[in-house]
Structures are given as structure tokens and as C-alpha cells.
Amino acid sequence: MQVAIDGPAGSGKSSVCKIIAEKYGFTYIDTGAMYRSVAWVSVHFGEDNLVEKISNIDFILEENGKKISIKYDGKIYDLTKEIRTPEISSKVALVASNGEIRKILVKKQQEFAKSGDVIMEGRDITTVVLPYADIKIFLTASPEERAKRRFKEWQSEENKQEYEKVLSEIKKRDEIDSTRKESPLMQAKDAILLDTTGLTLEQVADKIGEMIAEKKEKSKK
Ligand code: DC
């Protein structure tokens, strides 16, 4: 079974995917981490010939979404922590707006999706990567709620940012992600809208769990 989830930054995609993956034995594929890894490569190895560099990268997804490494030029780099810095966050939207880079990553993501039950999240999964997924969800929440969630995450990592700043960054990223020319973030016509404002993570996971159970039941008939 394929579960495809799209939604803006801070809508809870990765947290909820981790719960579902664990509970139902799905493989979790975090495509944002792949775009972030490309941004990391551009920072560390330079922006020149980036498309060629990316073609030669192997993405290694391990521990069900908890770890990401790349193999580049014969060496393995564990990027799990490196791709979560503010520097990479500010670079990644630019990288993700490059059509050539997207084409390469989409192909790799479609390959990953061939391995049994998968839950994949990003911005173009329901529209471009897995348009025929069994379950397609557009996960969202108000910008204010998303900023609060991010603020808490950063606080707990002692990387404090002020709420207003986080909120304006989220709005800026929403704007870039949903207005870019290449595969903008949008709700696919046949995707289910799931607004998580005011819901706990467990409540969201339960709702998706119900959709999976329903789909499994239907496929038995
Ligand atoms: O989900 P995230 O914040 O880790 O995503 C990082 C960036 O990558 C974000 O700016 C949107 C972009 N992205 C994308 O364009 N397409 C995807 N499938 C996943 C992420």
C-alpha cells in the first residue's frame, strides 16, 4: 500500500508519518530530507554542476526516517543532523525550485516507493511522485499553530527563536513552496484535506490509521 502525504512546513507530516510507519510496519520516506541533503551538498561542495553532482548521489534512508546519509564520491556522509540547521532551511527552497533537480529526486523517490508498504511525505507526492497512491492526504494547520509547534521543537533543542520570527519564516516558505513554477505545493483534487489545527498528534495518526484500515478492508472485498 502507498500512503502519500503533502502539506506545508510544520503541518506535522514527519511526526505523524513516524507513528504510522511504526504502528503499521510501513517504510517512511521523508522527501524533504532529500531536498535538504541537496542543499547541504550545494553548501559543502559548491553550487556549480549541482545537477550532475546530484545524479551521482545515492540516498541511504535508514531507521525508518530517523536517519539519512548520502554516498557521494565514494564517501558516506551521515546528514541526519546537518540538514536541520537554519542555514540549510534557508537554502533548501531555492534548491527545491530547480526543475532538473526535482526530476532526479522524483525518480529516486518513485524507486523507493516500490518497496512494499510505504508512507511518503513532501510537497508534490500526491500530485507528481505518487499520483496513484492508495491514500492521498493534504495535511495542514493554520500558520500560527504551525509556528507554535516549530517554536516548541526548537526550544527543546535549545536553539531558541522568537515566535514572530518563526511565524514570518513559515509564511515566507509557504509562499515560496506554493507559488513556485515547478511542482508547487497544492492540494490534489482527489486528496483528502486533513486540518490538524487543534488536534493532537495522536488524533491525527488515529484518523490516518482509520483510512488505512478502511482501505485494507475494501481491498479484501
Ligand atoms: O519538509 P521539509 O521542511 O523538510 O522540506 C524542505 C524543503 O523542501 C521545503 O522548502 C519544501 C521542499 N520540498 C519539496 O519541494 N518537495 C518535496 N517533495 C519535499 C520538500
Tens-place pLDDT, residues 70-114: 999 999 999 999 999 989 988 998 899 999 999 999 999 999 999
- In the annotated binding site, the residues are 7-15
| Residue extents of the structural domains in the chain | 2-215
pLDDT at position 41 over 80 = yes
C-alpha cell at 218: 475494501
Q: How far apart are CA 92 and CA 36, in angstroms?
A: 6
> What architecture is domain 2-215?
3-Layer(aba) Sandwich (3.40)
Q: How far apart are CA 126 and CA 113, in angstroms?
A: 13
Closest atom, ligand 1, to C-alpha of 109: 18
Is the Cβ–Cβ distance between 83 and 68 less than 8 Å? yes
**Judging by beta carbons within 10 Å of its beta carbon (0-12, 13-18, 19+), is residue 16 exposed, middle or buried?**
buried
Tens-place pLDDT, residues 191-200: 999 999 999 9
> Ligand 1 centre and the CA of 32: distance in Å?
4
Tens-place pLDDT, residues 133-152: 999 999 999 999 998 887 76
Closest atom, ligand 1, to C-alpha of 89: 6
Pocket of ligand 1 from Cβ distances under 6 Å: 9, 31-32, 35-36, 92-93, 96, 122-125, 173, 177
Closest atom, ligand 1, to C-alpha of 9: 3
Q: Nearest C-alpha to atom 3 of ligand 1 is from which residue? A: 9
pLDDT of residue 136: 98
